[in-house]
Amino acid sequence: MDRKSTCGTCHLLGSSLISWNNKKQACATLSTAEAEYIAAGHACAQSIWLKHQLMDYGVKLEKVPLYCDNTSTINLTKNPIQHSKTKHIEIRHHFIRDHIQKGDIEIMFVKIEIN
The verdict on residue 22 lying in a domain is no
With the CA atoms of 35, 39, 42 and 43 taken in that order, what torsion angle do they form, in degrees rounded to the nearest 10?
-160
> What is the C-alpha radius of gyration for the chain, rounded to an integer number of angstroms?
14
Residues 25-45: what's their mean pLDDT? 81
How open is the CA angle 65-70-76, to the nearest 5 degrees?
80
The verdict on residue 100 lying in a domain is yes
Domain that holds residue 94: 31-109
Angstrom CA distances, 77 to 12, 33, 47, 61, stand at 22, 11, 16, 21
CA gap 86, 89 in Å, rounded: 5
pLDDT level of residue 93 (50, 70, 90 thresholds): confident
The verdict on residue 88 lying in a domain is yes
Task: Say what the pLDDT of residue 115 is.
Answer: 61
The verdict on residue 115 lying in a domain is no
**φ and ψ at 94, to 5 degrees?**
-90, 10
CA gap 27, 11 in Å, rounded: 23
The verdict on residue 62 lying in a domain is yes
Q: Is the pLDDT assigned to residue 3 strictly greater than 80?
A: no
Task: Look up the pTM and report it.
Answer: 0.80
